Amino acid sequence: MATDKSKQHKVHIIPPHDLLVQKFTESRAPELDSLYSTIATRSNNNFKSQRNKRRRTTSHDNQSSKTRFRKKQKTGVLNQNNDVNSVKKAPPRHIRRRKELNENPQNEFCTSGNGTKRLRTHVWHAKRFTMTTRWGFHLPLGLHGRGRGSRALLKWLNNGTVVHDASYYSAVQLEGSQDSIMSILSILMSPFPSSDSENVLSGGVYATSMLHHGGQPNSGAIAPVIYMWRLNQKSTDADLELNGSEDHEKVNSSSSFRQLWVWIHAAALTEGYNALKNACESQGKVNEGVDSVRCTSLEGQFGTLEVMGSEASHLLQKILNPVISDTSSTSTFTMENEDHKSCSQIIPLVVNDPRSLTLTNNTEFDSSYTELWDISKGQFCPVEESVLCMEKHHERLSTFCLTNKTSNDDNTPPTKTGSSRFCPIILLKRNNIKDSITRWTIILPLTWVKAFWVPLISNGAHAIGIRERSWVACDAGIPSFPSEFPECNSYNSLMEAEASAIDEQASLRPESMRPFSIPILPPWNCVRLAFGSNPNEPEEKESYTVVARSARMLTGFLNAINGDRLLIFPHDKNTLISKFIRDEKIIDGVPKSIVENEVRRKVCFVRVVLRAYKEGVIEDGAVVCAPCLDDIKLWTSGSNEKVELQVPQSLLATYFAKQDSGKWEYKVPSDMESNRWPIGFVTSGFVPGSKKPVAGGLCDVALLSHLRHEQWGCVPLKKRKKEVYVLTRNLRSTAYRLALASIVLEHQEEDLDHV
């Protein structure tokens, strides 16, 4: 068979490395000229678009640009006549926003005209979220709309990741000897020390506690706080691995100089900082000659990002690229290994800039970046976005062999002095949501918040506001501050602000269309009426209201009122409720009536988790009432008939009455048959779309014990429940609904984990 010799000697032409556009167009010029002449002949040299084909194609008309030009000329932005006296207005809002988006000061928050602080992600949120002003910040309330979207949020949480910018949390730093700092914490915090105090001292974990005013352990609560020892990045990895060595003992020495961080919510930052500062000054006056503890506010220095969801660890594995260093063990860091560790862990890392992971893998690590947590030495800002964009542009050109090798011009913008491609962060592993959904908190310098925020969103995380954040907490049964901490002043301020906003909206409607008023700030003192107290009788001077947040605090309250016989079992190894629920003699020693003087004077609330027995939706602010035994039998009888236990419609508007002083009081209804005495209120209602909706509330301890005594005494031993049957009623509804209340402190030692 004959072969084609031309195919054997075929030469493959390699495309040139550089493509000259001018030569390319010159070679195609004859072809373009012939094409132009052909089109001109067919259209009779008429290149105007036909009128009937201009639909949805009005870009040829520059009428809008002319109108914009006239408006600018009228307002004085443009001056064609070169008038010296023309007034120039401020640039348009989108130009000012773009400028604010590119700014990245080294510290402190940016502020608006009235002094309200803005998060570093404010511009990003303002374009997509409904904004609100709270606690001195412009914060994202939630996605645009009527405040719905909880079903989609729960899907993101169960199948993806959500992220929230919680940089409104700030740290207060205490500097001094370990003994001096510990003595201050023992005065201001309850409970203290924590159950894991030894690990907290070593710097391996953080702890939560309730911050109080000095000298007032039972009242004057400020806020729940997170405290941890400041980590020295150079010795952190070695310190965490040592057990019993001389260096470890030196770190934990009581005379060593240490620094403690106390993280406080913005709603209580001023009050908490003043309490800590006053305690430090008082200690210095009492202990003369001893180095006093220095208290410093670190507001505007750190940012906080909360990452939650079933895919949170997987997302962080993509974003966080630890620096590879010979002296650091961070190169072996994997999120899969960290998931198996216990909660409350502190993981310090130095990571590459998440915006340019492919550009910094081979960059040599400078050990000076390990001291970035020392605020006194200043902070390194991230590399500007324009520099990274230009580097990526050059990298793309080199991929397509379009770089000009002969040119020595470098169009890359200059990098500012003090900028860095590395960032020190601290990962806090929080308690899991429903034992399956992980929570991480990223603490990082404030200048790096935007550098981490955009990659998190780009890799699939859904941003949420403070409203969606409260939904996550409610669905998980975790209290949200300050809306579920009525013992704190921040709670009163928040409720009063919400009440004034609702009253202002109601005033815009005609009087005939206004709904009747309900107390946004629940009258917590009305639970005293269930003890048989006279509503017109003034409260005694010795009375106080307490919210127990730990099993130790609840036990102390029961001992103070001689309530050791009450059927309340604070979580402890020796007093588990499962040991007493099957005891036949447990209810024999409990008095049938709890209307005792010591109990009546002192009211203690505990947090409960409410679940509807059959049907019904529990809303925020709903009243929790004590049911009769006949009420429980009607719901639990097994009949399909609908139970209707209601308040008369005529008494609904007068159930709570507003006094001239502005306070609300409970009015005892004349119809006592339908009256059920209140024992508490709901602080967080059901989240629509949840498969197992729960609500959070606060109820009186003694009344819960009384209800449990009645309910255990009328059922067989095997049918006793750990939960307590209660009634709930929404304030704008007449119907009572049966619910099961589970006391949180009977299942865990502390109830201080919050969002």
Same domain for 663 and 730, yes or no, is yes
Percentage of residues of the chain with pLDDT beyond 90: 36
- pLDDT at residue 598 in the model: 45
Residue 391 in domain: yes
Handedness of CA 475, 334, 353, 169 (dihedral sign): positive
Integer Cα distance of 45 and 39 in angstroms: 8
- Per-residue pLDDT of 369-387, as tens digits, reads 555 556 556 567 888 888 8
Highest mean pLDDT among 194-203, 437-446, 535-544, 662-671: 437-446
Same domain for 466 and 506, yes or no, is no
Residues recorded for the chain: 755
The CATH code of the domain that includes 450 is: 3.30.1360
Do the beta carbons of residue 453 and residue 188 sit within 8 Å?
A: no
Same domain for 385 and 342, yes or no, is yes
**Looking at the predicted structure, is the pLDDT value of residue 279 above 60?**
yes
How many degrees, rounded to 5, is the angle at CA 578 between CA 576 and CA 579?
A: 75
Same domain for 530 and 459, yes or no, is no
Cβ-Cβ contacts under 8 Å for 390 (sequence gap 6 or more) = 411, 412, 413
Residue with tokens 């409960």: 608
Integer Cα distance of 425 and 448 in angstroms: 10
Residue 537 pLDDT grade (very low, low, confident, very high; cuts 50, 70, 90) = low
- Judged on CB neighbours under 10 Å (0-12, 13-18, 19+), 642 is exposed
Average of pLDDT values for 695-706? Answer: 93
Same domain for 459 and 590, yes or no, is no
Handedness of CA 649, 654, 655, 656 (dihedral sign): positive
Residue 432 pLDDT grade (very low, low, confident, very high; cuts 50, 70, 90) = confident
Same domain for 426 and 536, yes or no, is no
Residue 19 in domain: no
Domain end position, chosen among 443, 476, 509 = 476
Taking the CB of residue 235, how many other CB atoms lie within 10 A of it? Answer: 14
Same domain for 458 and 538, yes or no, is no
Domain range for residue 258? 170-241+254-401+419-476
Same domain for 564 and 618, yes or no, is yes
Same domain for 382 and 277, yes or no, is yes
Average of pLDDT values for 438-458? Answer: 93
The total domain count for the chain is 2
Residue 591 pLDDT grade (very low, low, confident, very high; cuts 50, 70, 90) = low
Residue 10 in domain: no
Taking the CB of residue 53, how many other CB atoms lie within 10 A of it? Answer: 7
- Per-residue pLDDT of 516-528, as tens digits, reads 889 999 999 888 7
Integer Cα distance of 451 and 384 in angstroms: 9
Highest mean pLDDT among 86-90, 546-550, 737-741: 737-741
- pLDDT at residue 145 in the model: 87
- Per-residue pLDDT of 393-420, as tens digits, reads 888 888 877 776 544 445 555 566 667 8
- pLDDT at residue 200 in the model: 78
Highest mean pLDDT among 1-10, 62-71, 659-668: 659-668
Do the beta carbons of residue 655 and residue 666 sit within 8 Å?
A: yes
- pLDDT at residue 70 in the model: 61
Residue 141 in domain: no
Domain end position, chosen among 437, 461, 476 = 476
- For 349-375, give one letter per residue: b (16+ CB within 10 A) or e: bbbbbbbbeebbeeeebeeebbebbee
Question: 658 or 467: whose pLDDT is higher?
Answer: 467
Instruction: Identify the CA nearest to 276 among candidates 179, 184, 201, 183.
Output: 184
- pLDDT at residue 248 in the model: 40
- pLDDT at residue 595 in the model: 42
Q: Coil, helix or strand for 726?
A: strand
Integer Cα distance of 102 and 41 in angstroms: 53
Residue 702 in domain: yes
Residue 93 in domain: no
Same domain for 428 and 576, yes or no, is no
Average of pLDDT values for 504-516? Answer: 89
**Looking at the predicted structure, is the pLDDT value of residue 164 above 80?**
yes
- Per-residue pLDDT of 208-263, as tens digits, reads 999 998 765 555 899 999 999 886 544 444 343 433 344 344 444 555 788 899 99
Same domain for 510 and 659, yes or no, is yes
Same domain for 309 and 451, yes or no, is yes
- Per-residue pLDDT of 283-295, as tens digits, reads 887 776 567 899 9
Do the beta carbons of residue 187 and residue 166 sit within 8 Å?
A: no
Residue 327 pLDDT grade (very low, low, confident, very high; cuts 50, 70, 90) = very low
Domain end position, chosen among 461, 476, 491 = 476
Residue 88 in domain: no
The region of weakest confidence among 311-320, 326-335, 562-571 is 326-335
- pLDDT at residue 237 in the model: 42
Residue 21 in domain: no
Q: Coil, helix or strand for 558?
A: helix
Do the beta carbons of residue 544 and residue 605 sit within 8 Å?
A: no
The region of weakest confidence among 337-346, 545-554, 567-576, 607-616 is 337-346
